[in-house]
């Protein structure tokens, strides 16, 4: 199969390395790495080429905001499945390009409004026999599959609590890094200001971003973490998917080290993450563009080795055999020495890679627009994630 990855950033790179690895992904024949930064695409392609003895790994400069350019590139590569790992603002264009080019599609997710628009394209994808798999990264994505596994264990479910704890053991001060960037910088900036959805009784309730502080203990080495509300679309999709099983409440919280959160909040409170132009004399600038360049510039040419660990946890509350129970499904993800990628990148890139391969192999063969929990069989999928170094644990927390 031939798989194209649009976006050669942190998450796209992880997906490309998974696809190129002969041991992990033996059925992939060819990989295209496309990015608006052609040099970055080339570097990732060169890195991926070192993991294979027989696959073709190509790269291209591609502006994913231009529909005709995306269609042309996908057709030229004879793509079977395209993964959109670029900035989430490209999702409408790349999804439309995949449809018009007759190619299966997968993305890493955006917001609830985008999900609703994407679902309206279900008939168009079905009519062409194509699959569009939405929000298929880590969270959302892998955590959706874990939630499906937890729900399977219950006769009825009324609550899904999605929790993610993360720790980075690097000493960035000693490395001369003033502000670590655990994932997409624009995503972090947006999360500072976007209202957060909580799904309750079939409706969305909005709460303030980074509110709802909660303390939770995760397996070593993540340990005790402070969790906060962060905007995540799987709250909506899981609520809608499992409401027929009695589901009434879904929310998601993510940990953020307090000192790191305070730094990002300061940037936000000063207006430095704004996308609105401001005038400085005769010059108009966008604060976010300046701050992004300064932050990412501070990371360039530094040899930063990943040293982070992530735990995703799904707590499903409901009934089984007439008893009130809580099912916990946990995933422990550590940075990959094999690929030299962070835990945050691994938990996004590998699920996207595997799901794209399952589409290409015909394991996922139901045309239309789908959420991960609707079409992915949890156990074999999680088994494949174990091959990539992830550790899963399931247990009953409470039996009354």
What's the DSSP call for residue 193? T
Question: Which pLDDT band, with edges at 50, 70 and 90, does 173 fall under?
Answer: confident
Question: Which pLDDT band, with edges at 50, 70 and 90, does 257 fall under?
Answer: confident
φ and ψ of 360, to 5 deg: -65, -35
**pLDDT for res 193:** 87
**DSSP-assigned letters across all residues of 273-317:** T--S-EEETTEEE-HHHHHHHHHHHHHTT------EEEEEEEEEE
Give me the residue spans of the domains in the chain.
2-138+345-386, 142-342+390-399
Percentage above 70 pLDDT, the chain: 100
What's the DSSP call for residue 73? H
- Closest alpha carbon to 160 in 30, 326, 42: 326
Is the confidence at residue 304, as pLDDT, over 90?
no
pLDDT tens sequence across 120-133: 999 999 999 999 99
Task: Look at domain 142-342+390-399 and name its CATH class.
Answer: alpha beta
Is the confidence at residue 400, as pLDDT, over 60?
no
Cα separation, 133 vs 355, whole angstroms: 8
- Three-class secondary structure assignment of 30-62: EEEEEECCHHHHHHHHHHHHCCCCCCEEEEEEC
Cα separation, 180 vs 362, whole angstroms: 40
Distances (CA, A) of 236 to 201, 254, 316, 333: 11, 16, 15, 25
Cα separation, 238 vs 157, whole angstroms: 12
The CATH fold assigned to 2-138+345-386 is Rossmann fold (3.40.50)
Cα separation, 63 vs 349, whole angstroms: 21
Cα separation, 387 vs 400, whole angstroms: 36
Tokens of 290: 């300046």
pLDDT tens sequence across 179-226: 988 878 888 898 888 899 999 999 999 999 999 999 999 999 999 999
- Biggest distance spanned by C-alpha atoms of the chain: 71
Is the confidence at residue 67, as pLDDT, over 80?
yes
**pLDDT for res 182:** 81
Q: 162 near 251, Cβ under 8 Å?
A: yes
**DSSP-assigned letters across all residues of 200-223:** ETTEEEEE-TT-S-EEEE-STTT-
């Amino acid at each position: 199969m031939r798989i194209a990855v649009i976006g050669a950033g942190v998450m796209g790179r992880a997906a490309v390395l998974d696809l190129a690895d002969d041991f992990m992904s033996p059925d992939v024949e060819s990989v295209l790495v496309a990015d608006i930064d052609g040099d970055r695409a080339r570097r990732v392609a060169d890195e991926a080429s070192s993991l294979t003895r027989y696959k073709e790994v190509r790269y291209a400069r591609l502006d994913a905001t231009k529909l005709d350019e995306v269609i042309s590139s996908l057709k030229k590569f004879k793509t079977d499945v395209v993964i959109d790992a670029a900035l989430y603002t490209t999702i409408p264009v790349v999804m439309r390009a995949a449809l018009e080019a007759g190619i299966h599609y997968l993305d890493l997710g955006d917001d609830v409004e985008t999900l609703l628009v994407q679902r309206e394209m279900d008939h168009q994808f079905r009519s062409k026999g194509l699959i569009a798999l939405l929000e298929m990264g880590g969270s959302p994505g892998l955590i959706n599959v874990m939630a499906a596994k937890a729900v399977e264990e219950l006769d009825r479910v009324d609550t899904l609590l999605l929790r993610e704890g993360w720790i980075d053991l690097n000493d960035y001060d000693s490395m001369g890094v003033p502000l670590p960037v655990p994932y997409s910088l624009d995503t972090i900036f947006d999360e500072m200001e976007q209202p957060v959805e909580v799904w309750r009784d079939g409706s969305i309730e909005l709460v303030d971003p980074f509110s709802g502080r909660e303390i939770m203990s995760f397996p070593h080495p993540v340990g005790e973490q402070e969790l906060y509300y962060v905007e995540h679309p799987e709250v909506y999709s899981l609520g809608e998917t499992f409401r027929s099983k009695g589901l009434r409440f879904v929310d998601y919280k993510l940990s953020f080290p307090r000192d790191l959160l305070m730094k990002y909040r300061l940037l936000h409170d000063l207006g430095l993450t704004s996308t609105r132009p401001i005038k400085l004399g005769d010059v108009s600038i966008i604060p976010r563009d300046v701050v992004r360049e300064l932050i990412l510039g501070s990371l360039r040419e530094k040899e930063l080795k990943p040293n982070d660990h992530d735990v995703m946890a799904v707590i499903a509350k409901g009934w089984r055999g007439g008893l009130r129970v809580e099912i916990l499904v946990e995933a422990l993800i550590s940075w990959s020495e094999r690929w030299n990628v962070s835990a945050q990148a691994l938990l996004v890139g590998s699920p996207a890679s595997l799901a794209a391969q399952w589409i290409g192999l015909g394991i996922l063969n139901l045309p239309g627009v789908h959420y991960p929990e609707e079409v992915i069989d949890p156990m074999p999928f999680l088994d494949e994630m174990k091959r990539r170094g992830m550790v899963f644990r399931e247990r009953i927390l409470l039996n009354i």
